[in-house]
Chains A and B, each alone.
Chain A
Amino acid sequence: MPLALPDLQAAFAAHVAGGDRADLAAVIVGDSIPAEARLRVYRHHVSHSLSAALAATFSTVHALVGEGFFRGLAQGFVAEALPMQPVLAEYGAGFPAFVAAYEPARALPYLADIARLDWALNVAFHSPEGRRLAMADLAVIEPDRLPSLSIALPLGAALIGSHYPINRIWSASQPGASAETVDLEGGRADLLVLRRADDAAFIVLDGGEAAFVAALAGGESLEGAAEHAASAEPSFDLSTAFARLLSLEAFAALRQF
Chain B
Amino acid sequence: MAQVAGIGLRSPHLAEIARDLPATGFLEIHAENYLGASPARQAIERLREAYAFSVHAVGLSLGSTGGLDEDHLARVTTLVKRLDPAYVSDHLSWSVHGGRYYNDLLPLPYTEEALDVVVRNVGRLQEALGRQVSIENPSCYLGFAHSTLTEPEFLAEVVRRSGCGLLLDLNNIVVTAHNLRLDPLAWLSGLPAEAITEYHLAGHAVNDCDGQPMLIDDHGSRVGAEAWALFDAAVRRYGVRPTLIEWDTDIPALPVLLEEAGKADRAIGSPSPHAARAA
Contact = CB atoms under 8 A, between A and B. Distances in A.
A and B are interacting partners:
yes
Interface of A: 2, 4-6, 8-10, 12-13, 16-17, 27-29, 31-35, 37-42, 45-46, 49-50, 53, 82-90, 125-129, 197-199
14 contacts: A5-B109, A5-B114, A13-B98, A32-B212, A33-B212, A33-B214, A41-B142, A42-B104, A46-B103, A85-B59, A87-B59, A88-B32, A89-B36, A126-B36
B13 interface: no
B138 to A, nearest CB: 11
Which of A37, A40, A86 has the most chain B CB within a 10 Å cutoff?
Answer: A86
A9 B212 contact: no
A86 B37 contact: no
Contacts of B35: 87
Interface string B126-155: 000000000000000111111000000000
Nearest to A82: B100
5 closest A-B pairs by beta carbon, nearest first, are A86-B59, A126-B36, A2-B146, A128-B37, A38-B142
Contact of B33 (A35, A45, A89): A89
Interface of B: 32-33, 35-39, 58-61, 64-66, 69, 71-72, 75, 94-104, 106-109, 111, 113-114, 117, 141-146, 179-181, 207, 209-210, 212, 214, 216
Given A88-B32, A126-B36, A9 B101 contact: no
Given A89-B38, A125-B36, 15 more contacts: A5-B111, A5-B114, A5-B117, A29-B144, A38-B142, A41-B216, A42-B107, A42-B141, A42-B142, A46-B104, A49-B103, A82-B101, A84-B100, A86-B69, A126-B36
Given A83-B103, A85-B71, A33 B209 contact: yes
A27 B145 contact: yes
Contacts of B144: 2, 8, 27-29
Which of B33, B95, B101, B216 has the most chain A CB within a 10 Å cutoff?
Answer: B101
Contacts of B108: 5
Given A9-B94, A86-B95, A199 B100 contact: no
Given A2-B146, A27-B144, A85-B71, A49 B104 contact: yes
Contact of A2 (B66, B101, B109, B142): B109
B100 A83 contact: yes
A29 B180 contact: yes
A77 to B, nearest CB: 14
B109 A198 contact: no
Contacts of A42: 104, 106-107, 141-142
A88 B61 CA distance: 15
A80 to B, nearest CB: 12
A86 B36 contact: no
Nearest to B59: A86
B103 A53 contact: yes
A13 B97 CA distance: 7
B221 to A, nearest CB: 17
A5 B94 CA distance: 11
Given A5-B117, A31-B181, A83 B101 contact: yes
Contacts of B33: 88-89
B158 to A, nearest CB: 15
A56 to B, nearest CB: 9
B106 A37 contact: no
Contacts of B71: 85
B38 A125 contact: yes
A8 B65 CA distance: 10
